[in-house]
Amino acid sequence: MSENKHNPSNFIERIIDEHNESGRFNKVVHTRFPPEPNGYLHIGHAKAICISFGIAQKYGGKTNLRFDDTNPVTEDTEFVEAIQKDVKWLGFDWEDRLFFASDYFDQFYENALKLIREGKAYVDHSSAETMDVEKRAGKNSVYRERSVEENLDWFEKMKSGELADGTCVLRAKIDMNADNWILRDPVLYRIKKATHHRTGDDWCIYPMYDFAHGYSDSIEGITHSLCSLEFEVHRPLYDWLIDAVEIHHPQQIEFSRLNVNYTITSKRKLKELIAIGAVNGWDDPRMPTLSGMRRRGYTPASIRNFIEKAGTSRREQIIDLSMLEYCVREDLNASTARVMAVLDPLKVVLTNYPEDQTEIMTAINNPGDESMGTREMPFSRELFIERGDFMEDPPKKFFRLGPGRMVRLKNGYIIQCDDFVKDEGTGEITELHCTYFPESRSGADTSGLKVKGTIHWVSCKDALDAEVRIYDRLFTDENPTGHKEIDYKEFINPDSLKVITAKVEPSLGNAEIGTQVQFMRKGYYCVDLDSTPDHLVFNLTATLRDSYAKKNK
């Protein structure tokens, strides 16, 4: 076996080990991540990023970040910048190896000329409809046997801008009866009089993705072109094009895509969701994009861990979204401070507590990590607690507040509910009157007081208002695009976003955008991009437990 023996369950590593043993590529491992800059990266791209960069790192190789920017109509610098930001956020760096397919337009053009001169490509004036019919019938185009001179002349006219969009295309001359339809004389170049985000108006013909993709890999000296299984059927075309011009031949290796339930990753459909207002842009926290996940509070480590748990194979599978949420919780549990926030406030008046007194309670930021230290919390006569922590007629196993019942306030005192006030019109309880036990301050001996429950709270006069955005899954169906007769938009969850005003402890007043915390007993939250010192905004990242599974039992 090779000295580079890695994970035997990873078939990609087994193939590379075999290459190294045979001396193929001189034992060099050079991969690439080649996104199209026509949208933002999503969770499926995260798998491709982790595999391409991760494999190269394991073998001491290198990875290029290359933008396959061959369609000026759909591509934009905004997407280029967003993709670079996402790759770095995920934890990977291409260093000085940033490339664009548009860097190679001149070389692509020369390759196309070589194909024409050798009788392996021709200019076709047929309509798209005619070409489709002929492909289905295995019928050669009437333009297939044009002379080399005619094809060179027409291709020059395409390049010079003499012809309108759609007038003609350059096609490869392969086999119109091939079992693999992609080999049935595929289109290589088309006319597009559109401004390119990098080359401007220098070109009015652009290579098709399949034409440029394999050549780009070859030009960059890529050894292992790692991609999802959908490109397996394209591999014979990449091989044919590379062999036809006799240049470096990378090894393409396909792996299964990352499919997650309750999620769609089609860029076209994600754009549609934005267009119809179902979400508020590419970075909406409900979106499966990396920018959306970052804004929601997901961590790079949790996403990488999720990708690792999902595994690398050639078998198509659907991964449960709950696994990703578990990975997020696991990471945030270790790294976030516990703070107090009351999402559904109910006022509590401690009738025997001095009216003008304020005490400072000490709270531990993270019981599992002493290095995170402590913070101070003001305590006063009037407090807010969660409405759900009181019941007028509680069952026996309800260990929170009820008439005559006791509870401990986290980091504070034990209190007992003596009375409550109801709104005469609605019957809603608006205020609790409680007694506090001065000798029961946190840390004191309270063996004489039988208390089973502990609840969180904030001081009324010190609490800050905060907008809290509660996110649920964007779709109500596990496979929203898996129904032939039902449009996926029919499964959009109308309750995927709920906005409330909460009361939060004053220590959060200076929390910076992106700060991640655990709202004690409620879940993990982060400070949103919209947050300001005068208007705090928090996003729900994840509940403390898999509440969705419990809700849908």
Closest CA to 338 of 302, 313, 375, 312: 375
434 to 199, 346, 359, 407: CA distances (angstroms): 72, 13, 18, 10
Name the pairing type of β-strands 516-519 and 458-459. Answer: unpaired
Contact 549, 306 (CB under 8 A): no
Sign of CA dihedral 124, 125, 126, 128: positive
Q: Which of 13, 27, 32, 36 is catalytic?
A: 36
In the numeric block, which tokens belong to residue 467?
């907008």
Q: Cα 387 vs. chain centroid, distance in angstroms? A: 34
Which helix (H) or strand (E) segment is 171 a member of? strand 169-172
Contacts of 293 (CB under 8 A, 6+ apart): 43, 285, 303
Q: Which of 32, 47, 184, 267 is catalytic?
A: 267
Phi and psi, residue 11, nearest 5°: -65, -30
Radius of gyration of the chain measured on its C-alpha atoms: 31
Q: CA torsion, points 393, 398, 404, 408, in degrees to nearest 10?
A: -150
Instruction: Establish whether 257 is a catalytic residue.
Output: yes
Sequence-ordered alpha helix ranges (H) in 297-352: 300-310, 321-335
* Strand positions, DSSP E, 256-305: 259-260
Contact 255, 314 (CB under 8 A): yes
In the numeric block, which tokens belong to residue 303?
């996403």
44 to 35, 70, 81, 321, 473: CA distances (angstroms): 12, 21, 19, 13, 17
User: What gap in Å lies between CA 402 and CA 434, rounded to an integer?
Assistant: 10
Phi and psi, residue 273, nearest 5°: -60, -40
Closest CA to 76 of 289, 287, 271, 225: 271
Token pair 């000490």: residue: 362
Contact 384, 345 (CB under 8 A): yes
Q: Which of 139, 144, 257, 271 is catalytic?
A: 257
Token pair 């970052």: residue: 294
Which helix (H) or strand (E) segment is 55 a member of? helix 43-58
Contacts of 23 (CB under 8 A, 6+ apart): none
Token pair 């470096």: residue: 248
User: What gap in Å lies between CA 13 and CA 226, rounded to an integer?
Assistant: 11
User: What gap in Å lies between CA 503 and CA 468, rounded to an integer?
Assistant: 10
- Give the residue numbers marked as catalytic: 36, 257, 267
